[in-house]
Amino acid sequence: MTKLLTTPDGSPASRLAFGTMQFGGRADKDASRAMFEASISAGINHFDTAYMYNGGASEEILGSLIGDRRDSLLIATKAAYSGGGSRQNILDSFDVSRRRLGLDTIDLLYMHRFDPDTDLAESIGALTDLRAAGKIRYIGVSNFAAWQVVKANAIAAGAGSAVDVLQPMYNLVKRQAEVEILPMCADQNIACIPYSPLGGGLLTGKYAAGSGGRLTEDQGYARRYGPKWMHDAAVSLGEIAAETGTHVATLAVAWAAAHPTGPTPIISARSAEQLEPSLAALEFNMDETLYARLAALTPTPPPATDRLEEQS
C-alpha cells in the first residue's frame, strides 16, 4: 500500500479525491458548490486544484467553499505548470494560490510537471523550504516518471524531508503507471493520487453514444485517447456495466481504485448529476473476478525489464 494522507485534524484522507478542474470553467459557481457538497456528503475530504485551472477561478471558488470545514479537509494545489520550475516561479505562484484559496497553509503542494531545463534541486528545494516554514504539509509531484520521483525524493531527503505524493495519469486504457510508478510509490511510501480514471470521458460511454466532450473539443485529449482499441474497450466496459446493472463510470473509477497498491483516484464532473456515478464507486465492491475481467479488456503493459515470460 502507498502512504496514507491525513487532514489537519488527523482524519484519514478519503479513498477518492475530488478534482476541481471544472470549477470556473465548464462548471459555474452554483454547479461547483453542488458538486462540492455532494462530495462532502459522500465522504470525500480531499480536494484538488491548481494555480493554472481556469485562470485561477478554480482556486477562488474552492476557497470560497471551504468555510469552517477547513481542518477536516485536505486541500491540494499545484505550481509550475507554466513558467518553469524555478524557485521564484514556484514561490510566486504559491503565494497567489494561498490568497485565492484564503489559506495560510496549503496541505499539499505539487510541482505540476517536470522541468528538464531547471535543476531539480532548485525546484524541490523550494518545496522543502515551504514545508519547513509550515506553509505546506505535504510535498507532491505530478506527471513525473518514476526515476524523476526517486531523484526528487533523494534531494528532499538531503533536506530532511520527502516527496509524499505523486499524481500520475491512470485508468483502464492508460495503464503505464502499473509498470514502475505504482510499484515505486508502494516501495517508497509515496501516496499515489491518479487523475483521469474516466479517460477524459471515454470510459463513460458517452462518445460511443455520439455525445461530445473533451475528446471532441480538445485535440490533445483526442490524440491521447485516439487508438481504436481504447474505444473498443470502452464499448466492452459498457456491456459489462449493463450486464452487472452498474453505471459504467462507477466501474471505471472502482477499477482504478482497486489496484493492490491502493491509489486514490481523482474524480471530477461538470455537474452534481454527472458526478453521482463516480461517487458511487466509494461503496462499490470490486471483487477479484470482476477486477480481472475488466483488466482483460485492455493490454497489460509489459514489465520494466520487458521480460514477458516472467510476467505472472
Does residue 216 sit within a domain? no
Does residue 83 sit within a domain? yes
Does residue 53 sit within a domain? yes
- Which pLDDT belongs to residue 236? 97
Does residue 81 sit within a domain? yes
- Which pLDDT belongs to residue 212? 66
Q: What is the DSSP string of 139-162?
A: EEEES--HHHHHHHHHHHHHTT--
Residue 125's CB: how many other CB atoms inside 10 A?
Answer: 18
Does residue 89 sit within a domain? yes
Residues serving a catalytic function are 53
Does residue 220 sit within a domain? no
Does residue 244 sit within a domain? no
CA 250 – CA 236 distance, rounded (Å): 15
What global pTM score does this model have?
Answer: 0.95
- Residue whose C-alpha is closest to residue 16's, from 267, 272, 197, 249: 267
Q: Which domain holds residue 191?
A: 17-200+257-286
Output the tens digit of pLDDT for each of the chain's 312 residues: 778 999 999 999 999 999 999 999 999 999 999 999 999 999 999 999 999 999 999 999 999 999 999 999 999 999 999 999 999 999 999 999 999 999 999 999 999 999 999 999 999 999 999 999 999 999 999 999 999 999 999 999 999 999 999 999 999 999 999 999 999 999 999 999 999 999 999 999 877 766 667 776 778 878 889 999 999 999 999 999 999 999 999 999 999 999 999 999 999 999 999 999 999 999 999 999 999 999 999 999 999 988 877 766
Which set of grid coordinates corresponds to residue 9?
Answer: 485534524
Q: How many domains does the chain have?
A: 1
- Which pLDDT belongs to residue 209? 67
Q: Assign residue 106 the CATH number of its domain.
A: 3.20.20.100
CA 293 – CA 297 distance, rounded (Å): 7
Which set of grid coordinates corresponds to residue 168?
Answer: 500520475
Does residue 37 sit within a domain? yes
The CA-atom distances, in angstroms, between 43 and each of 6, 14, 131, 198, 254 are 14, 7, 27, 20, 15
Asked if 301 and 293 count as a contact pair (C-beta separation under 8 A), the reply is no
Which set of grid coordinates corresponds to residue 190?
Answer: 509515496
- Which pLDDT belongs to residue 217? 76
- Which pLDDT belongs to residue 221? 79
N-term to C-term CA, the chain:
20
Handedness of CA 246, 252, 256, 259 (dihedral sign): positive
